[in-house]
């Protein structure tokens, strides 16, 4: 193992996915496949299991970047963040729900909710997102059962 050298800044950053809404996967996401949706928002899961008990994403339905959320959407965001976080806790035995927004990969607004399992102290903190990629994926049946709990909590 050798440490990777820090590269110089590039002239221009690579474009994010779906710039300007062109060929945007989030815009094309079928709303009926969401765990929950309303007129302006939807909650989805990842396409396949990952290492943490549950990872879901809150998206705007319209193609909006975080910085461009209109005032009405911005006002809805706070209560929705709490609602999605509570729904992820419904999975059970969750120590914390990490709420993350990076926006480096896709322009379309999306926010991550990552369930950190309770009492697994190595996963405490900001590295939980990295552990999500490193840990073996959840068994499919457990992953689906956890998502169903989230879906029921969001739709209750």
**Cα distances (Å, whole numbers) of residue 47 to 27, 31, 112, 126, 150:** 16, 14, 14, 23, 15
Q: How many CB atoms lie within 10 A of CB 110?
A: 19
Q: Is 129 in the site for Zn ion (CB under 5 A)?
A: no
Number of H helices, E strands in the chain: 4, 5
Of 27 and 81, nearer to Zn ion (C-beta) is 27
Q: Is 110 in the site for Zn ion (CB under 5 A)?
A: no
Task: Name which position in 59, 61, 98, 108 contacts Zn ion (CB under 5 A).
Answer: 108
Smallest distance, Zn ion to C-beta of residue 42, A: 12
Number of residues that bind Zn ion (CB under 5 A): 7
Q: Is 26 in the site for Zn ion (CB under 5 A)?
A: yes
x/- map, 48-77, Zn ion, by CB under 5 A: ---------------x--------------
How far, in Å, CA of 17 to CA of 37, rounded? 22
Of 37 and 63, nearer to Zn ion (C-beta) is 63
Residues contributing to the site for Zn ion (CB under 5 A): 18, 21, 24, 26-27, 63, 108
């Amino acid at each position: 193992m050798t440490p990777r050298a820090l590269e110089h800044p590039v002239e221009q950053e690579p474009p994010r996915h779906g710039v300007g809404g062109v060929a945007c996967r989030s815009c094309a996401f079928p709303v009926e496949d969401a765990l929950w949706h309303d007129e302006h928002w939807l909650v989805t899961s990842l396409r396949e299991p990952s290492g943490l008990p549950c990872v879901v994403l809150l998206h705007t339905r319209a193609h909006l970047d975080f910085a461009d959320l209109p005032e009405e959407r911005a006002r809805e965001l706070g209560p929705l963040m709490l609602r999605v976080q509570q729904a992820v806790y419904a999975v059970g035995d969750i120590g914390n729900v990490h709420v993350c927004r990076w926006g480096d990969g896709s322009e379309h607004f999306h926010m991550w909710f990552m369930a950190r399992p309770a009492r697994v102290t190595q996963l405490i903190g900001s590295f939980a997102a990295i552990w999500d990629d490193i840990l073996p994926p959840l068994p499919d049946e457990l992953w689906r059962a956890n998502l169903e709990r989230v879906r029921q909590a969001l739709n209750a």
